[in-house]
């Protein structure tokens, strides 16, 4: 499995979770804060995996990638900061706005990865490396992937 395909699949699942969070925000801030903790944990785990598995390898292979990756990592930090502030809010005060802000940041970040970072990785990294990184992703996620016969 190619690491880019795996990460895009995670983006797809996270988009659905973010939509659910937005719908929940319309109904109950307290419920949304609980859901935001779950979605936020998934986004943070996704970010760590990207940094450790794909971005670290891509940065070593391409000078052009270094700047893009620094930007992606800054966005990871900004999203993480918003999620930590959201979890720390007492009684949901200001939670709706902060949750919507975190969702907007995550969407912007995913879009930048999909338009800039993943195509660059596909261009710079050989298919064998992308597949090996995909195997590392599967191992980290506890997924068994046998691949095509």
67: CATH:
1.20.120.520
Rounded (10°) CA dihedral 127, 133, 134, 135? 120
Mean pLDDT lowest among 19-28, 38-47, 115-124? 19-28
pTM above 0.85, yes or no: yes
The residue range of the domain holding 28 is: 3-140
Q: How far from 111 is each of 2, 61, 82, 86, 106, CA to CA, in Å? A: 19, 22, 18, 23, 8
Helices 3-27 & 95-112 angle (0-180, nearest 10): 160
Total structural domains within the chain: 1
CB 102, CB 40: distance < 8 Å: yes
Whether the predicted pLDDT of 149 surpasses 70: no
CB 72, CB 119: distance < 8 Å: no
Specify if 146 maps to a domain.
no
How far is the C-alpha of 5 from the C-alpha of 143, rounded, in Å?
14
Specify if 149 maps to a domain.
no
Condensed to tens digits (0 to 9), the pLDDT of residues 19-33 reads 988 888 888 777 777
Q: What are φ and ψ of residue 95, in 5° steps?
A: -65, -40
Specify if 145 maps to a domain.
no
* Token representation of residue 131: 């597949």
Specify if 123 maps to a domain.
yes
Three-state SS at 36: helix
């Amino acid at each position: 499995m190619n690491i880019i395909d795996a990460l895009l699949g995670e983006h797809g699942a996270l988009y659905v979770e973010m939509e659910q969070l937005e719908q929940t925000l319309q109904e109950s801030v307290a419920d949304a804060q609980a859901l935001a903790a779950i979605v936020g944990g998934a986004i943070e785990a996704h970010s760590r995996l990207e940094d450790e598995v794909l971005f670290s390898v891509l940065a070593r292979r391409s000078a052009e990638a270094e700047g893009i990756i620094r930007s992606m990592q800054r966005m990871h930090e900004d999203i993480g900061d918003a999620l930590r502030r959201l979890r720390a809010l007492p009684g949901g005060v200001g939670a709706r706005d902060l949750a919507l802000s975190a969702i907007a940041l995550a969407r912007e970040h995913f879009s930048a990865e999909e338009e800039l970072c993943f195509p660059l990785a596909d261009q710079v990294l050989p298919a064998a490396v992308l597949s090996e990184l995909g195997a590392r992703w599967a191992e980290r996620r506890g997924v068994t992937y046998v691949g095509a016969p």
